[in-house]
């Protein structure tokens, strides 16, 4: 089976979390062809994408050193995980790559401060770096665990329009590039570790797919690769029958149809956004929501409905008076 799977920011937020991810990917690769998509690292006190965006905005407001001040913290976040999980040889390869990336955006921030203007195109260059760092870290951690892996920037795969900050994919061009770049890796048993959130315009300029866009990246790649299933690894066992904060006896649902998922999302439940997974729904590719921190749990399967059923879940939108 070919499986494209995505790990969200908290699923890759610490060395322990990345260790879990390596275990999951290692197990999956034993049975399936696996493609991995990763978000930027989200530690409880350091959410990479938020920090990058805040520093870019501070630069535009005149604080040219804002990025250079946060860069060591971000480097440290990634390298602490690397020291924990990677072989010395991998650490030695990774560190200069991350340093170069942070030096580049620190310089860029100084220029932005001089110009006093941050275009959406320039902002994408900053905000997309978290995924680039993390794909390299996770590929290095996988290799150190004996799993052949290669970091791939989605700028090489996902072709988008030029709507910076909220770009739309062009599926035919994306399919061609993704086939050419990823199929040889997959066939050799190498796990591609692809950056979520980013793509590139036809002329090669980095774009982003909108905040939280890594789910979209995963769906796009699942669709163009014609995956048998697409798995979204999150911090919950799956979609719940109700909000557990309101309904204590809420439970995880085994199965939902695409339209039930869309309805739940429409009425405020915290599930995958329908627009995000449209490329998968159109091709009727089954989706699973699974828990990185409880991988034995089968999660919730979202697929075509098998039989008209009864109500599966309730959700509510709070209207304040």
Residues that bind ligand ASP (CB under 6 A): 9, 39-40, 49, 130, 196-197, 211-214
Distance of CA 222 to the CA centre of its chain: 13
CB of 200 or CB of 303, closer to ligand ASP: 200
CB of 39 or CB of 292, closer to Mg ion: 39
Report the alpha-carbon distance of residue 147 to residue 29 in Å, rounded: 8
3 state SS of 139: helix
> Which segments of the chain does DSSP mark as H helices, in order?
15-31, 48-60, 66-85, 88-115, 120-127, 129-144, 171-187, 214-224, 258-266, 274-282
Work out which of 7, 9, 125, 200 binds Mg ion, going by CB under 5 A: 9
CB of 9 or CB of 169, closer to ligand ASP: 9
49 sits near Mg ion (criterion: CB under 5 A) = yes
Contact 301, 287 (CB under 8 A): yes
Residue 289's closest CA among 275, 308, 303, 279?
303
CB of 212 or CB of 298, closer to ligand ASP: 212
CB of 197 or CB of 258, closer to Mg ion: 197
C-beta of 6: minimal distance to ligand ASP in Å?
Answer: 8
- Residue 211 near which of Mg ion, ligand ASP, none (CB within 5-8 Å, type-dependent): ligand ASP
- Residue 126 near which of ligand ASP, Mg ion, none (CB within 5-8 Å, type-dependent): none
What does the buried/exposed string (b/e) look like for 126-163 if buried means 16 or more CB atoms within 10 Å of the residue's CB? bbbbbbbbbbbbbbbbbbbbebebbbbbbbbbbbbeee
Count CB-CB contacts under 10 A for residue 255: 18
Contact 113, 59 (CB under 8 A): yes
127 sits near Mg ion (criterion: CB under 5 A) = no
CB of 49 or CB of 291, closer to ligand ASP: 49
C-beta of 134: minimal distance to ligand ASP in Å?
Answer: 9
Q: Which residue is nearest to Mg ion (CB)?
A: 9
* Window contacting Mg ion (CB under 5 A); options: 9-17, 27-35, 166-174, 217-225: 9-17
Q: Which residue is nearest to ligand ASP (CB)?
A: 214
* Window contacting Mg ion (CB under 5 A); options: 5-13, 26-34, 89-97, 225-233: 5-13
Looking up tokens 């690292």, which residue turns up? Answer: 41
C-beta of 134: minimal distance to Mg ion in Å?
Answer: 9
Contact 151, 136 (CB under 8 A): yes
C-beta of 211: minimal distance to Mg ion in Å?
Answer: 8
**Residues contributing to the site for Mg ion (CB under 5 A):** 9, 39-40, 49
């Amino acid at each position: 089976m070919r499986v494209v799977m995505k790990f969200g920011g908290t699923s890759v937020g610490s060395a322990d979390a990345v260790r879990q991810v390596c275990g999951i990917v290692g197990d999956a690769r034993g049975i399936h062809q696996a493609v991995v998509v990763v978000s930027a690292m989200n530690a409880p006190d350091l959410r990479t994408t938020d920090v990058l965006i805040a520093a870019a905005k501070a630069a535009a407001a005149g604080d040219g050193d804002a990025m250079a001040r946060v860069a060591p913290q971000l480097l440290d976040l990634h390298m602490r995980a690397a020291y924990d999980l990677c072989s010395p040889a991998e650490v030695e390869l990774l560190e200069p790559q991350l340093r170069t990336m942070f030096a580049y955006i620190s310089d860029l921030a100084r220029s932005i401060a001089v110009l006093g203007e941050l275009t959406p195109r320039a902002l994408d260059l900053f905000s997309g770096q978290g995924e680039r760092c993390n794909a390299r870290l996770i590929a290095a951690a996988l290799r150190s665990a004996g799993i052949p892996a290669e970091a791939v920037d989605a700028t090489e795969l996902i072709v988008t329009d030029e709507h910076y900050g909220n770009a739309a994919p062009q599926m035919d061009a994306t399919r061609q590039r993704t086939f050419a770049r990823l199929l040889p890796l997959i066939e050799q048993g190498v796990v591609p570790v692809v950056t979520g959130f980013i793509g590139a315009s036809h002329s090669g300029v980095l774009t982003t797919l909108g905040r939280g866009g890594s789910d979209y990246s995963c769906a796009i790649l699942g669709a163009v690769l014609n995956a048998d299933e697409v798995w979204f690894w999150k911090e919950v066992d799956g979609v719940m029958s109700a909000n557990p904060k309101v309904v204590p006896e809420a439970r995880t649902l085994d199965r939902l149809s695409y339209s039930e998922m869309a309805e739940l999302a429409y009425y405020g439940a915290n599930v995958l956004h329908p627009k995000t997974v449209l490329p998968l729904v159109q091709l009727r590719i089954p989706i699973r929501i699974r828990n990185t921190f409880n991988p034995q749990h089968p999660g919730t399967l979202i697929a075509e409905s098998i039989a008209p059923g009864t109500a599966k879940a309730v959700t509510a939108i709070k209207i304040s008076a």
